[in-house]
Structure 1
């Protein structure tokens, strides 16, 4: 392959699998739009959540494989491990861009250029390993996850370039996967910042949190902060923790459930401030959407969230505390002082995470990977020159 002649509009894009219309899926769909020219290959497919403009092709097929993918757990892991190794349709492309960790099982042809976009580092096998130790069958699960790490570790050197979705994930890739820092670049996920505006709604009398209601989002601490507080909190989103959260919520908390995109725009623009308490968040799309709506962010001083807050300008940070006292204090601080930046300046700050910025950075990253992967021997150009000018002859070294 002459990588210098590679058409960057003909790049294969492959995603581990469509799952609940989550952030990883939206990144993969946008990658497909960046490199238009073929289907988005997915380990497993869910047509019900696909955007109308995305054409997908499922890579892992067969009755047994499909059963394993639908069953989940260890069965799904094995299906991905077996299904991705060869992945025949991907081998016809000069350049491959993958999304997620499961495609790292792929064994590429020698000359194929491979750029791997990484959303996280299998967090219960890395920075959140204490959750395994403290959970049910802790020692057995630690042994199980150790075996997974051993099986997975040899996959983390095959791509030519890794792209991390934040500096936090880059750090984890270096520490837990052993990838060299020189091999990793950071490309933030695409957020449709242009879809949100401070003008979508008048600022109301409520605070807002919006996320999947799962344990690692720590919404329960936000609820404790608003217990008997003379402020209203709206909780948007759904998930496995919802019933438990509703049981501990006080009367000033309203659960909006899953909301449409139009309703989300109104809620974000109308909130006094957006509160986010996700545990050591890899990136965090909802906080950026809130900023794009011109809404200040009250965020936990962890992960990428701490850098999405410019203290006193886009919002305020708070330290993690299960009682919710620090969140309560920062709400009071916001009530007393507000923030220095107006809604339009906050919205402009969010543009660094826009879809257009993502497109630009992805094109740059892939072009750079192709250039660096050029296999042409140093002497080849000299031979080519002689072929066209026979009288010149070879140069002796």
Structure 2
């Protein structure tokens, strides 16, 4: 198979990411793709060079005054700009292989002789596994009609890549169920986590618990704050977002909000925490919990989504449920942790996180691209004898 990670490949490859925003997990994954395929040009639907790392330089793919205005405006206007801008995407058509990141590039109509590998971070959540969230909203019937239209759009665009790569077994299941993609066209490659940047020996364990995420509704920091309001334990909340002011108003004095923290401070806080608490709703993957494990810190995670599989009960942490009726609550779980601790040492917890490392991501993506290229070869078997000179 062709090794696209080396200079020996005679095939050209490009990387295309839906759009840079907020220096989030999807952006970091796309930037890491440029480090695997070092000579590949990097295109983005829309660019924010202020958040790009020094070793990454992108080119904005969607151009034109009206489309750019839609990208800047956001919401439905941005989605329409992506729908129009990705279909032809002329610069991408010059390459033998394209690796895309995100959902919006699925509108791309690739040449038939091009190999296309699509990395998917999640399905359209409100149109699929989170559709029940719409029931209690205003104008629910009109929203359901809108989300149906979105599903129809994606139904016509989700069978085109040669291979899908997804960030967890959970998302693989969702891509099969909601998009109808056959299982054999999907590979799981976990997102790259800089596990080597964390060290269990960096800090002495302090007298605090920690959570870190963007403070949005789907991270459900409310549930963590409510639980710690009932506990005589200190909680540090790192991260910023639209929910911050409301969360600060509902929090008692034992809860401290740090806002955005840089990488050095994040590493120090994770290494020094008693345990990391994560309460995301049906999380697709969850990078912050893995960073905590890499720092040797036990994880108290909700028994949902991928989070439930990042916890091995009693060994590297404990799982809890969102409702008391179906299992131990977070409050009960913190008390259990205070009494029993966990079986694994900090170094054993950190070793568990290595399956999610940057190196594992590089290997997985290289293999996925090589496999897709091999499977996309349309050379008739009988023609091979002429190519070999027999």
Q: Structure 1 length as normaliser, TM-score?
A: 0.94
Deviation of 1:11 (Å): 1.8
Pick one of 298, 303, 313 that aligns with 2:305.
303
Corresponding residue of 2:33: 31
Q: CA RMSD in A?
A: 1.8
Q: State the alpha-carbon separation in 1 of the partners of residues 273 and 192 from structure 2.
A: 23
CA shift in 2, pair 1:3/1:231, >3 Å = closer
Matched, 1:373 2:376: yes
Corresponding residue of 1:178: 180
CA shift digits 1:175-220 (9 cap, x unpaired): 1000011110100000000001112211100000000000001111
SS in structure 1 of the partner of residue 201 of structure 2: helix
Matched, 1:141 2:132: no
Q: State the alpha-carbon separation in 1 of the partners of residues 230 and 175 from structure 2.
A: 42
Pick one of 103, 106, 112 that aligns with 2:108.
106
Q: State the alpha-carbon separation in 2 of the partners of residues 57 and 176 from structure 1.
A: 32
Corresponding residue of 1:341: 344
In the alignment, is the contact (CA less than 8 A) between 1:281 and 1:302 conserved in 2? yes
Corresponding residue of 1:392: none
Q: Point out the structure with max Rg over C-alpha.
A: 1
In the alignment, is the contact (CA less than 8 A) between 2:45 and 2:61 conserved in 1? yes
- Runs of 4 or more above 2 Å deviation: 2-10, 321-325, 382-385
Q: State the alpha-carbon separation in 1 of the partners of residues 307 and 3 from structure 2.
A: 39
Deviation of 1:9 (Å): 7.8
CA shift in 2, pair 1:209/1:322, >3 Å = farther
Corresponding residue of 1:284: 286
Corresponding residue of 2:362: 359
Deviation of 1:4 (Å): 10
SS in structure 1 of the partner of residue 165 of structure 2: strand
Deviation of 1:136 (Å): 2.2
Matched, 1:151 2:142: no
Q: Aligned runs of 1:1-397 on 2, under 5 Å?
A: 7=9, 10-321=12-323, 326-385=329-388, 388=389
Q: State the alpha-carbon separation in 2 of the partners of residues 118 and 261 from structure 1.
A: 26
CA shift digits 1:16-40 (9 cap, x unpaired): 0001001100000001111111331
Q: State the alpha-carbon separation in 2 of the partners of residues 9 and 163 from structure 1.
A: 20
SS in structure 1 of the partner of residue 374 of structure 2: helix
In the alignment, is the contact (CA less than 8 A) between 2:313 and 2:319 conserved in 1? yes
CA shift in 2, pair 1:29/1:4, >3 Å = closer
Q: State the alpha-carbon separation in 1 of the partners of residues 18 and 115 from structure 2.
A: 18
In the alignment, is the contact (CA less than 8 A) between 1:10 and 1:37 conserved in 2? no
Alignment length, in residue pairs? 386
SS in structure 1 of the partner of residue 161 of structure 2: coil
Q: State the alpha-carbon separation in 1 of the partners of residues 44 and 215 from structure 2.
A: 26
In the alignment, is the contact (CA less than 8 A) between 1:11 and 1:95 conserved in 2? yes
Q: State the alpha-carbon separation in 1 of the partners of residues 164 and 319 from structure 2.
A: 30
Q: State the alpha-carbon separation in 1 of the partners of residues 71 and 232 from structure 2.
A: 47
CA shift digits 1:337-357 (9 cap, x unpaired): 000000011001101000000
In the alignment, is the contact (CA less than 8 A) between 1:96 and 1:112 conserved in 2? yes
SS in structure 1 of the partner of residue 98 of structure 2: strand
Q: State the alpha-carbon separation in 2 of the partners of residues 187 and 3 from structure 1.
A: 19
Structure 1: where are the runs of 5+ without partners? 390-397
SS in structure 2 of the partner of residue 41 of structure 1: strand
Corresponding residue of 1:394: none
CA shift digits 1:260-289 (9 cap, x unpaired): 111000110000000000000000000000
In the alignment, is the contact (CA less than 8 A) between 2:296 and 2:349 conserved in 1? yes
Deviation of 1:322 (Å): 8.3
Q: Structure 2 length as normaliser, TM-score?
A: 0.96
Structure 2: where are the runs of 5+ without partners? none
SS in structure 1 of the partner of residue 329 of structure 2: helix
Q: State the alpha-carbon separation in 2 of the partners of residues 220 and 114 from structure 1.
A: 41
